Structure 1
Amino acid sequence: MQRGLVHAIAWSLATGAAVTLSWWGVHTVMSGTAYDPPRAVPISVGAGGGQGTDAPVSSSTHRAPPSASPSATASRATPTPSPRPSRRPSSRPPATGPGPAKSSAPPAAAGEVKSYPTRGGRVVLELADDSAKLVAATPEPDWSMQVWTNPEWIRVDFSDGSGATMSVFCTWNGHPPTVEVVDQ
């Protein structure tokens, strides 16, 4: 009886040590990988473009009060893509099925801020007569995001990890900015 109890205690201690060591090893390897919680895309606010710094700025959680100037003075630092793909499908139904690309008309006024919602996330752009700036890009839950910027275009891709990709293209090379949303 006493011998069985000693074996049970020794087995429990060895199993506990093995589980602890395994957990610590996996935790060490997985920290800093694609399984970390998502981080917000940084947005810096400045006085660029000759606009005042006291203009209201909107976010997804706080709406700025209406003012005489509809343009925001938000500019964005170069983002790092959020590498958080997931194999779980989104709980939200898709807004539209795969189909032809949608294109918007050029903006009517300089510095107009427009939002482009997709089933993978939302892109907010500030569209001027001959240029555009990315104000914000926010992926939906279980979607990852990647951003490319160039002096003549901006591209934002949202991926869900199962092959579905939503892309928002904004181009203005020699013409007013046009925005195209593509469901791939």
Structure 2
Amino acid sequence: MRRGLVHAMAWTLATGAAVTLSWWGVHTVMSGTAYDPPLAVPLATRPLSSSTHRDGPPPSSPAASPSPSESQSQSPSWSPSPSPAQSSPKPPPGPSPYRQPDAGASGNVKAYPVSGGRAVFDLGASSAELVSATPAAGWRMQVWKQDFWIRVTFTREGREVSVFCTWHDHPPAVEIVDP
């Protein structure tokens, strides 16, 4: 019995030491790694284009409005929700991690699809902003940003596809490197 307890105690100590050593190694490696924040692109307050957009108020249907007797039977705390024309969505507080305020932004948003995914830039007269970058299924993505260029790289199984946007001493230009 005593021999079994000694073996169990030795196994417990060895397992604890192995788990601690493994955690410490992983923690050391991961603490030196920088991760980009999750991509969350704010919704535009007005659509850029729409084939169904019509000027004027939305059409109302007679079935949607309650009859006078129905509206009187509602509780006093009830109030109709405002229609989209009455309230406008508020932009999220603070800048998005991928969109930074810039006087050179013009609203000229262009998408660049490549075999590893898709990069979308807002090209201004003297600078550019990354709107979004989405990897295709099975691909990984990495983004680098500097004062005069942005690089989006998609990788999978040793293959690398990059989308470069540069604007130093010239208007923004996009180059795709897909060997």
- Normalised by the length of structure 1, the TM-score is 0.51
Please, which of 44, 67, 81 is the counterpart of residue 47 of structure 2? 67
Change over 3 Å in CA distance of 1:110–1:146 after alignment to 2: closer
Q: Deviations over 1:7-62 (max 9, x none)?
A: 2332122112101111111101211534999954378xxxxxxxxxxxxxx72xx7
Please tell me whether the aligned partners of residues 75 and 135 of structure 1 are also in contact (alpha carbons under 8 angstroms): no
Change over 3 Å in CA distance of 1:38–1:142 after alignment to 2: farther
Please tell me whether the aligned partners of residues 41 and 136 of structure 1 are also in contact (alpha carbons under 8 angstroms): no
SS at 2:109's partner residue? strand
Q: Counterpart in 2 of 1:18?
A: 14
Residue segments in structure 2 that go unaligned for 5+ positions in a row: 51-90, 100-104
Change over 3 Å in CA distance of 1:144–1:29 after alignment to 2: farther
Task: Note if 1:31 corresponds to 2:52.
Answer: no
Task: Note if 1:145 corresponds to 2:125.
Answer: no
Q: What is the total number of aligned residue pairs between the two structures? A: 131
Task: Give the % identical residues.
Answer: 33
Please, which of 112, 123, 126 is the counterpart of residue 127 of structure 1? 123
In structure 1, give the amino acid aligned to 2:154. F
Larger Rg: 2
Q: Once the 2 structures are TM-superposed, how far is the Cα of residue 181 of structure 1 from its aligned partner?
A: 2.1
Structure with bigger RCO (C-alpha 8 Å, 6+ apart)? 1
Please tell me whether the aligned partners of residues 121 and 130 of structure 2 are also in contact (alpha carbons under 8 angstroms): yes
SS at 2:29's partner residue? coil
In structure 1, give the amino acid aligned to 2:164. F
CA RMSD of aligned residues (A): 4.2
CA distance in 1, matches of 2:176, 2:49: 27
Please, which of 163, 168, 171 is the counterpart of residue 158 of structure 2? 163
Task: Note if 1:6 corresponds to 2:24.
Answer: no
Change over 3 Å in CA distance of 1:123–1:33 after alignment to 2: farther
SS at 1:33's partner residue? helix
- Normalised by the length of structure 2, the TM-score is 0.52
Please tell me whether the aligned partners of residues 109 and 122 of structure 2 are also in contact (alpha carbons under 8 angstroms): yes
